[in-house]
Amino acid sequence: MEYSSASASNLSIPFSVLDLVPVLSGKMPSDSFKNSLDLARNCEQFGYSRYWMAEHHNMEGIASSATAILISHIAAGTNSIRVGSGGIMLPNHAPLIVAEQFGTLESLFPGRIDLGLGRAPGTDQLTASALRRNLEGAGKDFAKSLMELRTYLSSDNSDSAVRAIPGEGLDIPIWLLGSSTYSAQLAGILGLPFAFASHFAPAQLFSALQVYRESFRPSETLKEPYSMACVNVVAADTDKEAEFQATSLFTTFLNVIKGKRTKLQPPVDPMDMVWNEAERYAVMQMLKYTFIGSGTKVGLALSEFVFNTGVNEIMINSHIFDQNARVHSYEIISKYALGRTN
């Protein structure tokens, strides 16, 4: 089972993409889907390894609620980049349904599908109740649901009364995602790759990576630990332009803190007119691993991050309002981190 498909010449590790499929102010989700496909096609050309989307519900500014359908949309419009979930929130779904959906995706796009799994609801409690109807045991049964899902995907399940067709026996890489030590330890014990959500929950990054490595047991999937961390990057031709574009990201997290659900807003200047000092501090705590600036500046910051964490792969979220600026940000990162010269 392969967990990397492209290497970075400068940092010597793969770089990948997290697309939150933002809905822009004044636009519709249909526009977001077009933007995501455009970004995926460009990032494939830029040399990124994988392109993930995350399950969220009841969020006006995020259009990735039907994650498996969007994965199919992106995979159909690209040729080689791996496409997957970052992640599917397993407590929201019957494991059999997930096995069938991703079995179908793997059958349509062989060797290109990743299944990243999280145990959070990806929404508020009221919406979670509407999704699952019964919240009892939700999240707490994650390990049990994971084992059930893996059973459906195993070729050893062929004699079972309940089977995943398609899905059974297919080589679909499973990643565990998390923002704490729980999934890190479980991933280690099971010998699965682990991805940490340091782009919005940085506090336990180092402790989670340590727990993962210390608890790791070699498996048929992995012989050694394989970790990935997601960070925010806003890159532009100049530091000033990058700082301006980054205000859309700041506004998004400011609205999260305030409990507001809005579409992605255009950049503002100055940001000090939007937040006060306490709000700025709270936002920047959440965005600790956010790198903003020219290619040289973000390239050095990413190198330092890789050195300090020892992760095997970096996933980039560039939450930028302007589509051209967003694509250009990933292009700049590819030149200064992946070592592209054209």
Which domain range does residue 55 map to? 15-235+290-336
Question: Which residues does 47 contact at the CB level (< 8 Å), separation at least 6?
Answer: 6, 8, 15, 334, 338, 340
21 domain-assigned: yes
Q: Amino acid identity, residue 174?
A: I
CB atoms within 10 A of CB 273: 7
31 domain-assigned: yes
Q: What is the CATH number of the domain that holds 217?
A: 3.20.20.30
Residue 236 · residue 245 · CB < 8 Å: yes
Residue 117 · residue 146 · CB < 8 Å: yes
Residues of the chain with pLDDT under 70: 1-11, 121-123, 132-140, 339-342
265 domain-assigned: no
Number of domains the chain is built from:
1
Q: Which of 169, 172, 207 has its CA nearest to residue 188? A: 207
What is the rounded distance in angstroms from the CA atom of residue 180 to the CA atom of residue 203? 8
169 Ramachandran zone, left/alpha/beta (phi>0; psi -120 to 50) = left
CB atoms within 10 A of CB 26: 9
Locate 120 and state its tokens. 């959070």
253 domain-assigned: no
User: Residue 184: what pLDDT?
Assistant: 98
User: Residue 1: what pLDDT?
Assistant: 38
pLDDT digits (tens, 9 = 90+) for 169-225: 999 999 999 999 999 999 999 999 999 999 999 999 999 999 999 999 999 999 999
What is the rounded distance in angstroms from the CA atom of residue 174 to the CA atom of residue 85? 10
User: Residue 2: what pLDDT?
Assistant: 37
- Cis peptide, bond prior to residue 218, ω within 30 of zero: no
Question: Which residues does 190 contact at the CB level (< 8 Å), separation at least 6?
Answer: 146, 176, 217, 219, 221
With tokens 């000033």, the residue in question is 240
Residue 146 · residue 185 · CB < 8 Å: no
252 domain-assigned: no
269 domain-assigned: no
203 domain-assigned: yes
Q: Which of 186, 206, 189, 195 has its CA nearest to residue 139? A: 186
Residue 228 · residue 199 · CB < 8 Å: no
Residue 330 · residue 242 · CB < 8 Å: no
User: Residue 130: what pLDDT?
Assistant: 79
What is the rounded distance in angstroms from the CA atom of residue 197 to the CA atom of residue 222? 21
**What sign does the dihedral 254-124-127-173 (CA atoms) show?**
positive
User: Residue 121: what pLDDT?
Assistant: 62
User: Residue 126: what pLDDT?
Assistant: 79
176 domain-assigned: yes
